[in-house]
Amino acid sequence: MSRALLAGLLAVVACTSSGEEPAPPSSAESTTSTSSPATTTSTAGATNTTTAPTTTTAPTTTTTTLAELESLGYEEVGRVDFPVEMTARPGSEISYIATKDGLVLAYDGSGFLEAPVLDIRDQVRNAGEQGLLSIALHPEETDRFFAHYSDNNGDTVVSEFTFSSDSELDAGSEQVLFTIDQPASNHNGGMIEFYQGDLFLGLGDGGGGGDRFGNGQNTDTLLGGVVRLSVNDDSEPILWQYGLRNPWRFWFDGDLIYTADVGQNAFEEVNVAAAEEGINYGWPITEGLHCFSPPSDCDESGLTLPVIEVEHGDGGTCSIIGGIVYRGPAIPEIDGHYFYSDNCGGYLRSLVYRDGEVVEEMDWTDQVGGAGSVAGFGIDGQGEMYVATTEALLKVVAVRGE
């Protein structure tokens, strides 16, 4: 491996420079616990932060009677064994949480429902960067649910399940929509998300290090990019965007797609591009804003380079964890901020992208405190933001004056 990760860190997005399989993360027998009261922190210390704002300004288009925002904070809503994502239908009181070992849990705003909504642990390989990696809800048909997981052979599967109630999915209803062989156990990608009626899937470059299998710039494979899948007919999947090493998480906001791509040995990156087919993000020609291939081969023409890069060691950075663009009602001051974190660094940072450029960057870590080993993000039915660590689900809340 290219670097030693801290014990217990998320192997799902580990950056490796060889084909060595990362050590599988530890797992606990208990999946959830709701006996601990929620706690909020706003000033827990964190090291190696780049900026430490204490206030932020609401957008000029926002009017609010809320008390002044003093800081952001984390509220622990429950202990969960390795959650990777949370999602919900707009307006719904029920949110769904995927755990890496193959469970889907339901959260009703006050606690986790006792029984899992779905249990496919017997058909999920939960090892290293493999597992149940992402879930999605159909935007219009409320009985349709989708999951991306590694099967027992380690290959990628995207399946559809049917809800029998808000709190139960019929495991026997599974329809496999998409499969692809994985040549290695790492760089399996992760995210699935709906946009304009189709389901989009992030896939890594096939694993190993240095784009061993030559997939990053190969448009004849679906690996190393974002794939467009139809869930309504038998249309062939499309390599929609490419040149990515391991897009663990992306996020659609309006006509833009925000993609956090895990780097090799030196730089992580956030890309913001038009949500349109044909974008080439550059891997392995570039890593972050730097040439990765030999300089004589570093032709950046036609590439869409990242809007920011994060150097390894900055705040403990090792593997970027992409998040969401916040559009919730509770904290209008951060409307339009794209939030992200890091598996090793555990910080909380954001950027604002406007008119083709990053116009603001913030580091909130001194306010919220270090989260630990961050695995993913999510939103509830009201559009509020959550951070998933390998041990807990945290809600991002506003700390306001009187």
3-state secondary structure (DSSP) of residue 368 = helix
Asked if the structure places residue 296 within a domain, the reply is: yes
If you write DSSP's letter for every residue of 267-335 in order, what string do you get? EEEEEEEESSTT-B--TTTEETTEE-S-GGG---TT----SEEEETTGGG-SSEEEEEE---SS-GGGT
The number of beta carbons lying within 10 Å of the beta carbon of residue 47 is 11
Asked if the structure places residue 16 within a domain, the reply is: no
Number of structural domains found in the chain: 1
Asked if the structure places residue 2 within a domain, the reply is: no
Asked if the structure places residue 25 within a domain, the reply is: no
Per-residue confidence (pLDDT) for residue 295, from 0 to 100: 77
Instruction: Please give the DSSP secondary-structure letter assigned to residue 245.
Output: S
Asked if the structure places residue 139 within a domain, the reply is: yes
Residue 23's pLDDT band (cuts 50, 70, 90):
very low
Q: Mean pLDDT of all residues in the chain?
A: 87
Asked if the structure places residue 12 within a domain, the reply is: no
- Residues 126-147 have pLDDT tens digits of 999 999 999 999 999 999 999 9
- Residues 35-54 have pLDDT tens digits of 333 333 333 333 333 343 43
The span from the CA of 287 to the CA of 283, in Å, is 6
Asked if the structure places residue 294 within a domain, the reply is: yes
Residue-range definition of the domain harbouring residue 191: 32-400
CA distances to 7, 246, 253 from 349, rounded to whole Å, are 23, 20, 18
Query: Dihedral sign, CA of 108, 112, 115, 116?
Result: positive
Asked if the structure places residue 185 within a domain, the reply is: yes
pTM: 0.87
Q: What is the CATH number of the domain that holds 139?
A: 2.120.10.30
Give the burial string for 298-330 (b: 16+ CB within 10 Å, else e). Answer: eeeeebbebbbbbebebbbbbbbbbbbbbbbee
Per-residue confidence (pLDDT) for residue 260, from 0 to 100: 98
CA 203 to chain CA centroid, Å, is 13
The number of beta carbons lying within 10 Å of the beta carbon of residue 214 is 14
- Residues 195-251 have pLDDT tens digits of 999 999 999 999 989 999 999 999 999 999 999 999 999 999 999 999 999 999 999
Q: Which two tokens stand for residue 193?
A: 């998300």
Per-residue confidence (pLDDT) for residue 61, from 0 to 100: 47
